[in-house]
């Protein structure tokens, strides 16, 4: 099992960011980097991200910041700068000039929580991931995925198995299956897991969490426990 360094708590990072929102308007006109919690600034600096680069990242539109798999916050996570990536995501949520939907905020908090989990800060990750449930009836598959991930982080195998069974029974509509087939046609170079078209979203991830239950989250998420 991989050894993990202790990362700043997600609760500490989120609390510091919330406090920054209460600063006077004259203070909020400062350099965005200066408004970040000290833990986040230190983590970014340790990962060779200076104030200018951080400010450029915080100025991106939501798609470029969160959904560009080769840009935005993701290169930080890819080089094991998990606390820095999590802090940057939370800072973006609080300081961006762009309007974020509730769904996008939930997704970005999920990504921040995943980064903390990758870094071994399970308590901080649970605080963030637990706030990403969708309203009841809107997306049962997502909520079961949250249940499964939280169970893994809490080392609750029975809870993980229950969530996996519930997720596996969520039907995938014909419209969603058609959209996924079109995605595969449009992106022939992207390899998706077996069952991508007909299985509920994130079921392969949950299967990997079960198969690699004794491993750390990052290893289990990738299914690299063999």
Sequence-separated (6 or more) residues with CB below 8 Å from residue 225: 211, 212, 214, 215, 219
Question: Closest Cα partner for 155 from 181, 117, 191?
Answer: 117
226 residues of the chain, pLDDT tens digit each: 444 443 455 555 555 444 444 444 444 446 889 889 999 999 999 999 999 999 999 999 999 999 898 899 999 999 999 999 999 999 999 989 999 999 999 999 999 999 999 999 999 999 999 999 998 777 899 999 999 999 999 999 999 999 999 999 999 999 999 999 998 898 888 778 778 899 998 999 999 999 999 999 999 999 999 7
Supply the pLDDT for residue 186: 87
Q: Is 42 exposed, middle or buried (0-12, 13-18, 19+ CB in 10 A)?
A: middle
Q: How many alpha carbons lie under 13 Å from residue 149 in its C-beta half-sphere?
A: 31
Supply the pLDDT for residue 110: 98
* Under 8 Å between Cβ of 46 and 75: no
Sequence-separated (6 or more) residues with CB below 8 Å from residue 92: 57, 58, 65, 66, 73, 108
Sequence-separated (6 or more) residues with CB below 8 Å from residue 218: 2, 117, 118
In the block, tokens 């990403």 appear at 132
Q: Write down the pTM of the prediction.
A: 0.81
Supply the pLDDT for residue 14: 55
Supply the pLDDT for residue 15: 54
Phi/psi at 83 (nearest 5 deg)? -65, -40
Task: Name the maximum alpha-carbon separation found in the chain.
Answer: 54
Supply the pLDDT for residue 191: 77
């Amino acid at each position: 099992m991989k050894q993990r360094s202790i990362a700043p708590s997600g609760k500490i990072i989120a609390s510091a960011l919330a406090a920054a929102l209460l600063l006077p308007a004259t203070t909020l006109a400062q350099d965005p980097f200066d408004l970040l919690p000290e833990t986040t600034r230190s983590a970014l600096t340790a990962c060779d991200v200076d104030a200018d680069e951080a400010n450029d990242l915080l100025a991106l539109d939501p798609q470029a910041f969160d959904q560009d798999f080769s840009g935005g916050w993701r290169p930080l996570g890819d080089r094991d700068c998990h606390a820095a990536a999590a802090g940057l995501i939370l800072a973006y949520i609080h300081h961006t000039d762009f309007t974020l939907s509730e769904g996008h905020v939930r997704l970005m908090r999920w990504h921040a929580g995943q980064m903390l989990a990758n870094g071994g800060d399970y308590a901080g990750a649970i605080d963030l991931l637990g706030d990403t449930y969708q309203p009841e009836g809107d997306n049962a598959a997502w909520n079961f995925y949250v249940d499964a991930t939280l169970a893994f982080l809490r080392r609750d195998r029975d809870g993980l198995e229950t969530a996996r069974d519930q997720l596996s029974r969520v039907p995938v509509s014909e419209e969603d299956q058609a959209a996924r087939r079109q995605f595969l046609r449009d992106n022939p170079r992207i390899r998706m897991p077996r069952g991508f078209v007909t299985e509920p979203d994130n079921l392969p991830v949950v299967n990997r969490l079960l198969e690699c239950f004794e491993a750390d989250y990052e290893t289990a998420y990738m299914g690299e426990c063999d």
